[in-house]
Structure 1
Amino acid sequence: MEEPSCNEIIQKPPTEEKILVSNEIKENDHKSKEIKGFVPISLGDIDKYNAQQKNKNTVRKHDSNLKKLKTFLKQQQLPTDITQIEMKELDNILCMFILSIRKENGDEYETTSLRSFVSSIDKELQLNNYQFTIAKGQRQGFPRFRETLSSKMKKVKKEGKGNKANAAQPIEQHEIQKLYDEGQLGNGSPQAIINSLWFRFTTNFGMRSVEEHYNLRWGDVKLCRDVEGDEYLELVERQTKTRTGATDEARTVPPRIWANDEDPSKCVVATYRIYASKRPHRFSEPSDPFYLSTSTKANITATTGNEQWFISMKMGI
């Protein structure tokens, strides 16, 4: 019997058994390329995950806001389905709601919370094909409510509630005023500036630990301006040991402190501007420390004109 030639061996199709074995080897080889401890993720999976997490928080907040509105409507013995109320009547109802709503402790809500209430109400109207909207557009209505909301937002900003801050130990106004009178707070000296920024960042940004202040970078605090031209400081939060990014700690809106136009001597934006002008420019990169050591030169005050109030050295704890 003649042996097959090389060409015959190459051209001969593999048996069914060999095909099955070959496919099994390829499948196992593909699985072996998957690194243990990880699951396959595509770019689409990333977008889907982010959308799901965002939607969970959004839906939870939306439901909470509408629940507060319905509670108000029940107390006023009004219909709880706002989509069935005529716009002119609902316009007045929403004015009463936004003016009367308070936190459980009686304090005013911050501007970010007020915007959240309005956004939820408007979304509810749009989802139910209501004839008018609160937001700008061809179907915009509720003129009285929009005017009332604008007035309240300005009032809340002036009261220093432009952002949501974490709870801090209460301090009486007369105690704060005493610190200003004694020159420990204010813009009159390098140390007073540091004290003022530290104090306001603690009470308004909710910076709870010494570590948070010590690790603060110059680029973590931004001077911004809103659409109405009002200035504010905004905290760009980075994860730390005291802020891990967990759901119950995360703040969806960056903390803000609004300018105090009525009393510039106590305005944190004015203090920030002075601090920016008096610290070394070469030590004002985003990654540089926020708090710098004060100059050792004696008698540096706001009236000396000395530009070097701070030195290129991180302030110690």
Structure 2
Amino acid sequence: MARSRHAIPKCEEDITAARKTAVPLKTQQDTQWCVKLWMDWSTHRNSDYDGPKVLLDSQLKKASKHDLSYSMERFVLEVRNKHGNEYSATTLHHIVCGIMRFIRSEQAFIDFFTDPEFVEFRQTLDGEMKRLQSKGIGSQIRKAEVLTPEEEELLWTKGLLGDHSPQALLNTVFFMNGLYFALRNGSEHRNLRLNPPQIRVVETSGKRPYLHYTEDISKNNQGGLKHRKQAKKDVKHYANEDNPSRCYVRLHKLYISKLEYTYM
């Protein structure tokens, strides 16, 4: 039976599901967290304050710009974390962006940062962020420590890296993928594709073999319209012929052979 050149007609549920994948899951979860902060704050304020009421989370998507500005000004000044502490200026801005994403699913024209009707809110947010910054809240930024050559050598000598055990080989693959192909977050490691492979072994007679990594999808490049002109990561790592025991081309081939054996 000949195959049709067209797919089976899609229903509304299929189209809705496709739209949802345009927004990364992490972003969806982050938006939900921001709205949850709003929900907790607005519920508490409306029940504990006799003055004018603020918008509830269920009202955000349909609210007028005037009502949004009124509520947002009070929110950025009053919101606190679960311990009752103020958020940093950066986190506060991040929360505001999350709430705006939520509203934009219904009112695409809403923009807190450019719309003239939100000028007073912007002034309030700007003043609050400057106050938080001047107090030093959130000024201590945690950065990943750079691994020194001596520390890396210690990983090898202690047997944490190498091919002498399945765990050591797995550690080595994870470590070297991060080191040579700049895979940073956990999802980039987990989503590496085996077939067709994103990391290919290239061996040509008379030339030094190498691994060729081609980015599939990353935190900063989701492959949609927004990123269609963004170049994907394309990296080559050549074999370490001076120290074959630590050559990642050899170790990667060994790792893949174990996977192929496992899934045979």
Q: Please state which band the TM-score falls in when normalised by the shorter chain.
A: 0.3 to 0.5
Q: Which has the larger radius of gyration?
A: 1
> Higher relative contact order by CA 8 Å / sep ≥ 6: 1 or 2?
1
Query: TM-score, normalization: structure 1?
Result: 0.35
